[in-house]
Structure 1
């Protein structure tokens, strides 16, 4: 060969490629979803370099590259990096790290015993007596002998300190609630579903009030569940701390609903609907907790959400009369 005669040694064949064989060149730019390699066809070598002269299959472009690999049997494969597990130990984020510093601890009593041993035991006792007076005045129950085979529903006291804007305690509240989880379906209650106003209905009513410059009054019904008589025969244990002397074995025959009963919310909703429609309010067809009353040029809307009420209207006198009636 001329190369061997001129240089005195045989030439190297390792750089030779089969003419027309596919060559694969790594793409330096492009979308991350594109193939990592471009396919070219081998065209030989230029006279002044060892780099391959390649022809792109999709066009007549003929670049020179020393990064290409060529073989008639080569198959294009992307370089897949070897994944290794990080040695860093993951730590939970400090998202709520200072919640205990900025928040207020819940020191309210959980039981009657804790309330009586609390530093504010006198305040709690006064709150419980006030609640019992309300129960007695509303004739919520009567004491009777426990019927044979009847397991009375339990009850408990729930305590809460109410604070003002400055964080100081303003009110001590005590509420007697029934242990509804001890009620038996089909015996102590039937239906429990209760209607409330839809969120979009409340937004629409507020938008109407803003557009027409209507008055908006908000009300909250106290001792809301005591306003409805209980249809089922429900017997409850006497409240802890207020057991009647010489009548410890008797139980409370509930006449009205109290907090905690499964059917309490539904009973209140049925009672409110009956009463408010008797005051010339008309129920909305699309939201059964939205009512409307029209008298001449005066219009009044009422929105009910459990025991929270929105009064929206254009007549102050009608608003005041309705509030006083409720």
Structure 2
């Protein structure tokens, strides 16, 4: 669409990188269109930007409960999470590099969020939390990234979200399975199976309990420095 004189555009760029598995092996190559959010102006093309992230203490408590009550720990990953957020503001973006001739001087008006925009984390969390609450879950008050759904039979399902990484636990296996299906229907979700690596923590489980270490995280720091 053409841009009026009282509007401004956000620049964009292509970013290329490599996605690795938790063991360091190659998963895939990635190319992503990223907005230059530092050119945005508060009050014009963005408002609030704050989005909550899971507290480490909350995750530790859930691991402790899961170890004592023998709850399973499932991990999900949402692909391209920020692209799901719906924008409330009017955001205009320049044509992607290499495609300028296809736009004929027009620019893009974004209806959904894009990586690099200041409000992308907030827009994504609002979209995700609304979806989970529509499934009957109650949002935690001390940690807004935790969602709980108790049943009338003493069973419970718990979800914790950290941006695009999700942990699901509880003793209601039927509800956990249903929740996975619902999330996969609304978002592009990858089921990573039992929890093994989360926020720099390696999680190993045995009959004796749950062992948490940061060996890989420390080795990666040493490699980088």
Question: Does structure 1 residue 293 correspond to structure 2 residue 183?
Answer: no
Question: Does structure 1 residue 237 correspond to structure 2 residue 94?
Answer: yes
Partner of 1:302: 159
Give the TM-score, by structure 2 length: 0.75
Higher helix share: 2
Question: Does structure 1 residue 205 correspond to structure 2 residue 62?
Answer: yes
Judged with a 3 Å threshold, the aligned counterparts in structure 2 of structure 1 residues 305 and 250 are, in CA distance, closer, same or farther, namely same
CA contact under 8 A between 2:82 and 2:121: conserved in structure 1? yes
Distance 2:23 2:54 in 1: 33
For CA contacts below 8 A with separation 6 or more, give which structure has more relative contact order.
Answer: 2
Largest Rg, 1 or 2: 1
Question: Does structure 1 residue 263 correspond to structure 2 residue 119?
Answer: yes
Higher strand share: 2
Match of residue 105, structure 2, among 240, 249, 266: 249
Distance 2:75 2:24 in 1: 24
Partner of 1:225: 82
**1:267 partner SS:** helix
Judged with a 3 Å threshold, the aligned counterparts in structure 2 of structure 1 residues 266 and 170 are, in CA distance, closer, same or farther, namely closer
Give the TM-score, by structure 1 length: 0.53
Judged with a 3 Å threshold, the aligned counterparts in structure 2 of structure 1 residues 166 and 233 are, in CA distance, closer, same or farther, namely closer
Judged with a 3 Å threshold, the aligned counterparts in structure 2 of structure 1 residues 165 and 262 are, in CA distance, closer, same or farther, namely closer
Distance 2:155 2:41 in 1: 48
- CA displacement at 1:228 relative to structure 2: 2.2
CA contact under 8 A between 2:85 and 2:125: conserved in structure 1? no
Distance 1:258 1:250 in 2: 19
Equivalent residue runs for 1:110-259 within 5 Å: 144-163=1-20, 169-243=26-100, 245=102, 247-259=103-115
Judged with a 3 Å threshold, the aligned counterparts in structure 2 of structure 1 residues 323 and 164 are, in CA distance, closer, same or farther, namely closer
- CA displacement at 1:175 relative to structure 2: 1.0
Unpaired runs of 5+ residues, structure 1, are 1-143
Distance 2:42 2:129 in 1: 25
- CA displacement at 1:290 relative to structure 2: 0.9
Distance 1:278 1:310 in 2: 18
Distance 1:203 1:311 in 2: 14
What is the RMSD of the two structures over their aligned residues, measured on CA atoms?
Answer: 1.8
- CA displacement at 1:316 relative to structure 2: 2.6
